[in-house]
Amino acid sequence: MAVSGLVMASVPATPVYILTIRCRDAVGIVAAVATTLAAADAFITESSHFGDPDTGLFFMRTVFHAHASARALSRSEYRDLLEPVRRRFGMQLELHDSAERMRVVLAVSRHSHCLNHLLHRWHSDELPIDVAAVFSNHDDLRRTVEWYGVPFHYVPATTPAAKPAQEQALRDLIVASEAGLLVLARYMQVLSPALCADLDGACINIHHSFLPSFKGAKPYHQAHDRGVKLVGATAHFVTPDLDEGPIIEQDIVRVDHAHDAEAFVRLGKDVENVVLARAVQWHAERRVFRNGQRTVVFRH
Amino acid sequence: MAVSGLVMASVPATPVYILTIRCRDAVGIVAAVATTLAAADAFITESSHFGDPDTGLFFMRTVFHAHASARALSRSEYRDLLEPVRRRFGMQLELHDSAERMRVVLAVSRHSHCLNHLLHRWHSDELPIDVAAVFSNHDDLRRTVEWYGVPFHYVPATTPAAKPAQEQALRDLIVASEAGLLVLARYMQVLSPALCADLDGACINIHHSFLPSFKGAKPYHQAHDRGVKLVGATAHFVTPDLDEGPIIEQDIVRVDHAHDAEAFVRLGKDVENVVLARAVQWHAERRVFRNGQRTVVFRH
Amino acid sequence: MAVSGLVMASVPATPVYILTIRCRDAVGIVAAVATTLAAADAFITESSHFGDPDTGLFFMRTVFHAHASARALSRSEYRDLLEPVRRRFGMQLELHDSAERMRVVLAVSRHSHCLNHLLHRWHSDELPIDVAAVFSNHDDLRRTVEWYGVPFHYVPATTPAAKPAQEQALRDLIVASEAGLLVLARYMQVLSPALCADLDGACINIHHSFLPSFKGAKPYHQAHDRGVKLVGATAHFVTPDLDEGPIIEQDIVRVDHAHDAEAFVRLGKDVENVVLARAVQWHAERRVFRNGQRTVVFRH
Amino acid sequence: MAVSGLVMASVPATPVYILTIRCRDAVGIVAAVATTLAAADAFITESSHFGDPDTGLFFMRTVFHAHASARALSRSEYRDLLEPVRRRFGMQLELHDSAERMRVVLAVSRHSHCLNHLLHRWHSDELPIDVAAVFSNHDDLRRTVEWYGVPFHYVPATTPAAKPAQEQALRDLIVASEAGLLVLARYMQVLSPALCADLDGACINIHHSFLPSFKGAKPYHQAHDRGVKLVGATAHFVTPDLDEGPIIEQDIVRVDHAHDAEAFVRLGKDVENVVLARAVQWHAERRVFRNGQRTVVFRH
């Protein structure tokens, strides 16, 4: 049922579509969508929806393909069929062919673990993305990236004055790559508010603490000073408020008094890897919705 | 959104219904159900469905109530509206008023932790069940049970010859209590195949290991002998094959070389408590479906 | 090996002692202690030590009893033998007979889950403490407490003016009970700085969040607003800085977008139970040491 | 305090030694060892010991270096000082210079995740081993291995008759590499009983299930058929009894009804990575002892 790379392999030639919807909650939404799809002989293989009583918003994700006995319609044909429903409920509606992978730019500084993990999983056909390019303010990880056949863009900025040009280079790369997602895989530069705003919902960061604890720099050292018994990592959408963006995923690992701050760093890496990879996978599979300062995630 | 006791308190007078469906998967099921509910102005607050490609079966659970602007129908009126859909797809369809709690008989021997946990959560209005009675082959826990105002039935069976009468007493109690569920909360007697068959899908046991490891007696001691690094507990439906029933929930706790078998017993109790309470809650909320030797659980 | 209630049962008549040491780290501490014990034919069944390179402090906990072939000394005899070592290294040294249980006062308001869990574990001989009394600012839980044969002290304080007298009553109860530990098992009153200071290292609180996130009131609601994906609980020593005391234990449970704040409350209770019971057990077994704003915990 | 690669960087020129001891439990062992070390002005930075009441065996691991004010002795000098203690208690005693890394041969078939994870952590100086060579029955992962500058030995065996020669090649490689550990990082060939016996305590395998559940082939598919709610991975010493060796580490990840067997495979990989890396690290740091069919692991 998963629309992951692994499973894709065994899916027949019939295209599989992912429909996502966001609108105000109301009676009849599911009925209208399901009836439209059923009338087109579409077979639903996975569907989740959620109405948030706090915000009054409704979120839905449905995966379907043409039934074996039916004619497979094109994306635009399905889109046209759904248009009356979209209008009726004022929906933000997207329809994706699951075979068209989200194009992604990864940004990294010197810590290689998240980059290595994402590239390996992508290379093993386990992350349904296309890695278009890697951007870095250091040249350290060029060999790793190029081994995977991915272009490596090294743009340092050793003075504050050089920052705007560096960020412009990142913007240009995202545009030139036709990327729909920027992943900050331990990228130790703060993006400008303008770029954060422009990438709203299209930029995921991994913060190496259990947010909202230990925002800012050196979170493992802050955690050690506070004497916590678990350390965590948080993948979140980037917003202009540093480390305040909507949380997509979090996890933790146990520590004790015998672990110094360096051990926290080491143990935390496994958690960062897993948390960031999950967030990227779910986002690429269109499972993640912003819901104000929170997210709706139809996990898998 | 949860249909738990706690949340019930704030739900308006309008009845909330839980619809469960099980049938062969096909195009149009969700459309037919959702359209029927929408036509009756029913507002869906929670809905999950799953089509199993292995078995070709489809499972659905939908929670709804009459929209504020609509006339609230009775259960039988909703039932009648759904009848054509039920027939069309050959559904096993159930419609429950969430305010009508599942009546439950608990069986226990001498270990009190699961019993104490279930009774406390029920008493705190956190488990949406009615505890009708407690059955035991020992008299030890009478005071605990009676404190909660629950009838305690002590029926020992010190010889094999006494077993059939004991089991008949348990059967009679279930019938007299009009119970829909028997929970074996560390009941150290094996039910006869006949009773297991009669209680198919209506009897939940807690086994104190991570099944399928360590079936049978003294699982913590088996686990200690094997030198595992995690011990677990498993809540499962009871079937005539001992410890082989469909699994509803499992969880684990970490152990190490310094824990002896008695420490495994002690540490495992917290896991048993939580795992069994989750299974009972989910079952009472109609979230659990048998799917051959496995289960579908729409967790919350 | 555990010095828990369960295991106590099988320990021979020979007294088992728990030695705890805290001093500046130096060469020869372990040698001096171990040599002294060996010279007295004491058999060590469990021993842990830790030197903190940050603070330069050394912590040690050793469990021993007289070897089968040796004469069992009294506590004061062992204490005398250790005195030269204590002086040489300037140790804070304590020697406890493990059969002498720590006397504990529990304080609670209206949430019964932690109280119920602690009382049940104590009653089942799984917590090596003596519950001397329960103190509450509400009368709700009297029946529960009295079922266990424990005195229940109800001292309300409905106006700020009544608070000092209420706190004095709590102080008096601790003294009269000869209690070595006060456990705030969801006690919703803030202790005065003076009482916090007087109970330094002898008062454990359960906070229903993953500290340092969500200090103060309604942490589950804060957590829900922030959209976290895990909620936690923290057991910590109480200090005059609210929710800033040294952390003894933490744990978490997963939540998602479909859980409202009330569901966070419900799910968090299981974590609070387990975290607080572990902290109390470890403290009672003399496994917990303050180390500045952190703790050293020789877990079991 | 950790003797991991990361921390090594900040350790002074003074060598750090790891002492491991295994013998029958008795009064005075810790005293004798600690006194000997203290007499040589050795500063203990980490020490753990455990006496198993079941087997009567005693295990100890102590990390020390010469005190700043003392003359640093050589390994053989410390060894000579400890010799009388070793004889007195009949110890298996090892003394390792922590700077001398354990040499390791990795064996792999076609699944690259564990290999990639181990190589990356080693390359990042986070695993205190030397990877001497990689052995494989497939040529697929040559490019990965050679990127790291590690010799890749491809020895296929497409017929049963070719197996003995293949295994002899592996034996020769271990000898030629002067390796102290063989890690089966998803190596899908069964070693002969003779090789298992020869590598007793020096060969670690990752099995992709929560042993003892689901031994043998395709454990994730077995787990899916059984309908478990958690899947696990187990790192264990290899013995002639397949999947029955002493367990070093285990961990799990949650699955549900919507995950097919392929999803189990995908989700399990993260657990396999982490579990195997922990086992290799702990073994390399001399934290793991065989204790009959179980292990003693002084975790960090």
> pLDDT tens digit string along C45-73?
999 999 999 999 999 999 999 988 888 89
From chain D, the residues in CB contact with B211 under 8 A are 213, 226, 228
D48 touches chain C (CB under 8 A): yes
Between the alpha carbon of residue A136 and those of residues A107, A108, A233, D148, D167, the distances in Å are: 6, 5, 22, 21, 44
What pTM was computed for the model? Answer: 0.94
Q: Is the pLDDT of residue C188 over 90?
A: yes
Instruction: Give pLDDT, residue D42.
Output: 94
Q: What is the SS3 assignment for C19?
A: strand
CA A45/CA B297 separation, integer angstroms: 17
Would the CB atoms of A47 and B49 count as touching at under 8 Å? yes
Q: Is the pLDDT of residue B3 over 50?
A: no
Asked if residues D183 and D118 have their Cβ atoms less than 8 Å apart, the reply is: yes
Closest approach of chain B CAs to the CA of C109, in angstroms? 14
Asked if residues D206 and D233 have their Cβ atoms less than 8 Å apart, the reply is: yes
> Over its length of 300 residues, how does chain D's per-residue pLDDT go in tens digits?
333 333 334 445 789 999 999 999 999 999 999 999 999 999 999 999 999 999 999 999 999 999 888 888 999 999 999 999 999 999 999 999 999 999 999 999 999 999 999 999 999 999 999 999 999 999 999 999 999 999 999 999 999 999 999 999 999 999 999 999 999 999 999 999 999 999 999 999 999 999 999 999 999 999 999 999 999 999 999 999 888 899 999 999 999 999 999 999 999 999 999 999 999 999 999 999 999 999 999 998
Token pair recorded at residue D52: 């198993």
Closest approach of chain D CAs to the CA of A283, in angstroms? 17
> Over its length of 300 residues, how does chain A's per-residue pLDDT go in tens digits?
333 333 334 445 789 999 999 999 999 999 999 999 999 999 999 999 999 999 999 999 999 999 888 888 999 999 999 999 999 999 999 999 999 999 999 999 999 999 999 999 999 999 999 999 999 999 999 999 999 999 999 999 999 999 999 999 999 999 999 999 999 999 999 999 999 999 999 999 999 999 999 999 999 999 999 999 999 999 999 999 888 899 999 999 999 999 999 999 999 999 999 999 999 999 999 999 999 999 999 998
CA D274/CA A273 separation, integer angstroms: 11
Q: E strands along B173-240, which residues?
A: 181-184, 203-207, 230-237
Band of pLDDT at residue C9, cut at 50, 70 and 90? very low
Q: Is the pLDDT of residue B1 over 70?
A: no
Closest approach of chain A CAs to the CA of C257, in angstroms? 5
Mutate which: B8, B11, B108, B120, vs C, most C CBs within 10 A: B120
CA C167/CA C161 separation, integer angstroms: 11
D243 touches chain B (CB under 8 A): no
Q: Which helix (H) or strand (E) holds A34?
A: helix A29-39
Nearest CA in chain B to D48: B258
Q: Closest Cα partner for D45 from C53, B134, A221, B83?
A: C53
Q: Closest Cα partner for A227 from D247, C134, C54, B267?
A: C54
Band of pLDDT at residue B71, cut at 50, 70 and 90? confident
Nearest CA in chain C to D69: C27
- Angle between helix A219-226 and helix A261-284 axes, rounded to 10 deg: 130
From chain D, the residues in CB contact with C51 under 8 A are 44-45
Instruction: Give pLDDT, residue B7.
Output: 37
For residue D190, the 8-state DSSP code is P
Band of pLDDT at residue C29, cut at 50, 70 and 90? very high
Closest approach of chain B CAs to the CA of C240, in angstroms? 32
Band of pLDDT at residue C268, cut at 50, 70 and 90? very high
B253 touches chain A (CB under 8 A): no
Instruction: Give pLDDT, residue B9.
Output: 40
Asked if residues A48 and A58 have their Cβ atoms less than 8 Å apart, the reply is: no
D60 touches chain B (CB under 8 A): no
Asked if residues A129 and A145 have their Cβ atoms less than 8 Å apart, the reply is: no
Residue type, C163: K
Token pair recorded at residue B55: 């078995």
Asked if residues A26 and A58 have their Cβ atoms less than 8 Å apart, the reply is: yes
Asked if residues D14 and D66 have their Cβ atoms less than 8 Å apart, the reply is: yes
Just list the catalytic residues of D: 243
Q: How many CB atoms within 10 Å of residue D161?
A: 8
Q: Neighbours of C (≥3 Cβ pairs closer than 8 A)?
A: A, B, D
Mutate which: D262, D264, D281, D299, vs A, most A CBs within 10 A: D262
Q: Which helix (H) or strand (E) holds D203?
A: strand D203-207
Q: Closest Cα partner for B122 from B272, B251, B5?
A: B5
Between the alpha carbon of residue B187 and those of residues B134, B214, B218, B281, D252, the distances in Å are: 11, 17, 13, 19, 28
Instruction: Give pLDDT, residue C233.
Output: 97
> Mean pLDDT in chain C?
93
Closest approach of chain A CAs to the CA of B136, in angstroms? 40
Just list the catalytic residues of C: 243
> Mean pLDDT in chain B?
93
Instruction: Give pLDDT, residue C118.
Output: 98
Determine the Cα angle at C256 with ends C253 and C259, to 5°.
95
Query: Position of tokens 């965590």?
Result: A232
Pick the more confident residue, C297 or C14.
C297
Would the CB atoms of C210 and A212 count as touching at under 8 Å? no
Instruction: Give pLDDT, residue B183.
Output: 98
Instruction: Give pLDDT, residue D7.
Output: 37
Band of pLDDT at residue B68, cut at 50, 70 and 90? confident
Q: Which long-range contacts (CB under 8 A, 24 or more apart) does B78-85 make?
A: B78/B17, B78/B19, B78/B40, B78/B42, B81/B36, B81/B39, B81/B40, B82/B19, B82/B33, B82/B36, B84/B36, B85/B32, B85/B33, B85/B36
Residue type, D198: D
Instruction: Give pLDDT, residue A6.
Output: 34
Q: Tell me which of B41, B243, B251, B270 is the catalytic residue.
A: B243
Q: Is the pLDDT of residue C12 over 60?
A: no
Token pair recorded at residue B44: 């869906």
Nearest CA in chain C to B45: C258
From chain B, the residues in CB contact with D226 under 8 A are 211-212, 247, 293-294
Just list the catalytic residues of A: 243
Token pair recorded at residue A118: 């994402």
Q: What are phi and psi of D234, to 5 degrees?
A: -135, 125
B240 touches chain A (CB under 8 A): no
Instruction: Give pLDDT, residue C242.
Output: 81
Instruction: Give pLDDT, residue C79.
Output: 97
- Residue D171 CB-density burial (10 A; 0-12 exposed, 13-18 middle, 19+ buried): middle
Predicted-complex ipTM score:
0.92
Mutate which: C1, C10, C30, vs D, most D CBs within 10 A: C30
Token pair recorded at residue B140: 């030890």
Would the CB atoms of B54 and D291 count as touching at under 8 Å? no
Q: Is the pLDDT of residue B293 over 90?
A: yes
Tell me which residue in C37, C49, C53 faces D47 most closely, judged by beta carbons.
C49
Would the CB atoms of B120 and C126 count as touching at under 8 Å? no
Q: Which long-range contacts (CB under 8 A, 24 or more apart) does D291-294 make?
A: D291/B227, D291/B257, D291/D52, D291/D55, D291/D57, D291/D59, D291/D246, D292/D55, D292/D246, D293/B225, D293/B226, D293/B227, D293/D244, D293/D246, D294/B226, D294/B227, D294/B257, D294/D246, D294/D247
